[in-house]
Amino acid sequence: VSEQRSVARISVVIPVKDGERYLEELLDALSREDVAETLVIDSGSCDRSREIAHSAGVELLEIEPGEFGHGRTRNLGAERTSGDLICFLTQDATPVTGWIEAYRAAFALDPRVGAAYGPHLPRPDTSPMIARELTEFFATFGAEGPNADRAGAPVLQHPGDSTFLSNVNACYARACWKEIRFREVGYSEDQAFGVDLLQAGWLKVYQPGAGVLHAHDYGPVEFMRRYFDEYRGLHETTGHVEGFGVLSAARQVSGAVAGDRRWAAGQGLGVGDQARWVARSAVHHGGRRVFSALGSRAHRLPTPLRGALSLEGRDGRELASDTSDGGQVTPDGPDPGAALSLSAPPATDLAPVPPATHVAPRLTQDFYEDVGRVWREGPAPLLDPVPGMADRERLRLALVVPSFRRGSGGHNTLFQILSRLERRGHLCSVWLQDVTGQHNSEWPAVIRSDIREFFAPVEGPVYKGYDQWQGADIAIATGWQTVHPTLMLDQCRARAYVVNDHEPEFYAASTEREMAEDTYRHDLHCIAASPWLRDLLIDRYDTSADAFQLGVDHDLYHPRPVTRRQDTIIYYARHVTPRRAVPVGLMALAELHRRRPDLRIVLFGDEGHLDSPFPYEHLGILTPPQLATLYSEATVGLCLSLTNFSLMPKEMLACGLPCVELAGVSAESIFGADGPLELAELTPRAIADALERLLDDRELWERRSREGIEFVASHTWEHATDEVEAGLRHALREREQAVPTQP
């Protein structure tokens, strides 16, 4: 096979549009190589390109501009030629002497070689930035390690090696091209081929001897827009997203500028020229960092902005038909083609299947990989129980928490309790399961500081991920997304689950709903944030469960020295949380407004304004001290909970503010049917009636206010911590009972 390949017939295909600048030089260079046939495919040139091709005596195929596509046209070229090897060049890539023989040598290395590519060499007038970049970029593919002494020798690339491939200068075995073919993608069909080729078991070769002169400069702005296009294409093809950080960008730019200066000095440029290139280099590399990052995020930009930033004016709506250059990571000109309109649909009733977009793998692991692992392999085994472990004074507790934001009520509950468990001598650590990825760029010390600032002053360490997992007496899951990762943690004596709400109810019929329900089926001892929730878990999932009562920070929430108004309803209208039943609440307030047009209505808890048929005052999201003041001056509070009750009614009551909540859900389990809360059915009229009762009946208002303060007085975080600690010890005790120990 190697011998056959060393004498293989070679066809060269060159897509061209307005390429007169270098085409003559290119074809002249080819005439000195042992090429069996050369095919120029012109897609509507307006310059002398066709004439040059005719004069050179090569085959010319003319296609409509609308027919051009990077993958499509190259596939056409391969079909229209017959060589055993098919080389592709762009119209501005001039082969160096020995180009063809170098490719033949590359394919003779191994019968599994499906493609080879050579370096892009700078032309004499190329700027130092581009010249250095090209040289150093292609040097990375050269022989290294024990083969470093073979610099200049072809390098075989196997699966797992770089997938880089560039149709500026590449050669393909016909058998390989037939098997894989170029994808009809808007950009980077060569990169896609590189990925597909290695995945299919073929090899490729970097052949330093098969170089082409290929580099030309743009102005700084054109370069930036060019990078935008390139990285956009790279993202579309491989899913690559270019990272960007101010400090890292500054470091990279300064390093690149220093490299360019050294390069310019090495080329013998004078001090003045060097200074000029250093300035240009800073603009070039700075612009590149910004525009490459933007390009790989182009899908998130508004369409007009995308079009404006693209050198080729691509706004993303012409993916299948655009004719921009095959994307290369190295600088490259927009060779054949310009923006074109969509091809006319075929005159038939048959609806053609549109060109598919290849989606490359982007996740290092599946989003729900942990769930899949638990389903596949089961939880990690627990350690054998040690007699008396449930009664030990100091427990090793590992709290696994989901991503958080400032103001998260569930996290506040967890950390209020955790900080108190620490003060009782337990050894607590926090393990962040960054479900939403919002802490991607945060390192553990920053996350720990945020927890302390947003919620409570935890003293223990905070870890992100489980690389440093050390085991625990109890691993504690705290939200449905943390349960499956917690089940995979080993070296634990027991596992527990602090359940703040019945989370399956947060979702419509969905994967998430099923997975959330699954969390209650792994024998984790649940510690639920209300008796209602505890009973629900026991009844519906037959799980073992305890309950705790949410605490109130009485230092903050107590009647403040402000005048209590007699005309103000405040409503926790957090519309982004569907379980708050905001549409019903608004209807109730509309009803109340019809009855009492002078009533002052205040909405809070959400950033955005809500449309309503009544006027209201909007306060947005308030800090806890601001809330305490608001609760102390309002007349009646309204907070609706379709699942487990919110802490908010308790905090309102602590400030002496009577509050209306929904009847028949969870509130009765805390406050009783005729406790300090005024309960109402989930209808606008019933809620309006309840609000009006408190506005009209002064005696009722006084009683609710007094009883509320008395009721929540015992609802402290210390008490909540007592209950949670008892639940944790219960979890350990269950383990002891589950595994009988020898007397």
Partner 1 sequence: MAITKRSSSNSEDLHAENERLRARVAALEAELVETQARTNEIVAQAQERVYWLDRWHLDLNALMRRPGAAELRGALRAIRAASRMLTRAKRRLRP
Helices marked H in 568-697: 582-595, 624-633, 648-654, 667-671, 684-696
Which of 4, 6, 147, 248 touches partner 1 by CB under 8 A?
A: 248
Q: What x/- string results for residues 110 through 149 when contact with partner 1 is judged by CB under 8 A?
A: ----------------------------------------
- The least distance separating partner 1 from the CB of residue 246, rounded to whole angstroms, comes to 10
One residue of 219, 245, 465, 672 binding partner 1 per CB under 8 A: 245
Q: Which is nearer to partner 1, 245 or 270 (CB)?
A: 245
Q: Which stretch binds partner 1 (CB under 8 A): 182-190, 445-453, 505-513, 538-546?
A: 445-453
Provide, rounded to whole angstroms, the least separation between the CB of residue 417 and partner 1: 17
Residues 60-119 that bind partner 1 (CB under 8 A): none
Output 355 or 444, the one with its CB closest to partner 1.
444
> Binding residue for partner 1 (CB under 8 A) from 247, 271, 350, 353?
247
Q: What number of helices (H) and strands (E) belong to the chain? A: 25, 24
389 binds partner 1 (CB under 8 A): yes
Q: Following DSSP, what letter does each residue of 598-615 receive, concatenated?
A: T-EEEEES-SS----SS-
Cα(377)–Cα(375) distance, rounded to whole angstroms? Answer: 6
State the number of binding residues for partner 1 (CB under 8 A). 28
Options 132-140, 171-179, 424-432, 507-515: segment touching partner 1 (CB under 8 A) = 424-432
678-680 vs 155-157, strand pairing mode: unpaired
Q: Are 421 and 725 in contact (CB under 8 A)?
A: yes
Which listed residue (362, 392, 405, 703) binds partner 1 by CB under 8 A?
A: 392
Does residue 642 contact residue 580 with C-beta atoms inside 8 Å? Answer: yes
Q: Residue 339 or 427: which CB sits closer to partner 1?
A: 427
- 446-485 residues near partner 1, rule: CB under 8 A: 446, 448-449, 459-462, 470
Q: 246 or 363: whose CB is closer to partner 1? A: 246
Q: Residue 221 or 446: which CB sits closer to partner 1?
A: 446
Shortest Å distance, C-beta 242 to partner 1: 16
563 binds partner 1 (CB under 8 A): no
| CA-CA-CA-CA torsion sign (614, 617, 621, 627) | negative
In terms of CB distance, is 389 or 628 closer to partner 1? 389
Residue 440 within binding range of partner 1, rule CB under 8 A: no
Burial of 350 (0-12, 13-18, 19+ CB in 10 A): exposed
Distance of alpha carbon 135 from alpha carbon 692, whole angstroms: 79
Work out the number of other CB atoms within 10 angstroms of the CB of residue 377: 10
Q: Does 387 bind partner 1 (CB under 8 A)?
A: yes
Cα separation, 430 vs 419, in Å, equals 11
Partner residues linked to 40 by β-bridges: 14, 60
- Considering beta carbons, is residue 57 or 243 the nearer one to partner 1? 243
Q: How far is the CB of 449 from partner 1 (least distance, A)?
A: 6
With CB under 8 A as the contact rule, the residue among 341, 364, 440, 441 that binds partner 1 is 441
Q: Which residues contact 361 (CB under 8 A, 6 or more apart)?
A: 239
- Can residue 427 be called a binding residue for partner 1 (CB under 8 A)? yes
Report the side by side order of strands in the sheet with 600-604.
Answer: 617-618, 600-604, 568-572, 636-638, 659-662, 678-680
Residue 521 as a binder of partner 1 (CB under 8 A): the answer is no
With respect to partner 1, which residue has the nearer C-beta, 100 or 428? 428
Kindly tell me which residue out of 341, 365, 440, 742 binds partner 1, with binding defined by CB under 8 A: 742
527 within 8 A of 548, measured Cβ to Cβ:
yes
The verdict on 428 binding partner 1 (CB under 8 A) reads yes
Smallest separation (angstroms) from partner 1 to the CB of 470: 7
740 binding partner 1? (CB under 8 A): no
Q: What is the DSSP string of 440-494?
A: TT--HHHHHHHHHHHT----S-EEESSTT---EEEEEE-SHHHHHHHHT--SEEE
d(CA 386, CA 503): 33
| 402 residue type, one letter | P
Interface with partner 1 by CB under 8 A: which residues?
245, 247-248, 386-389, 392, 394, 396, 427-429, 441-446, 448-449, 459-462, 470, 742-743
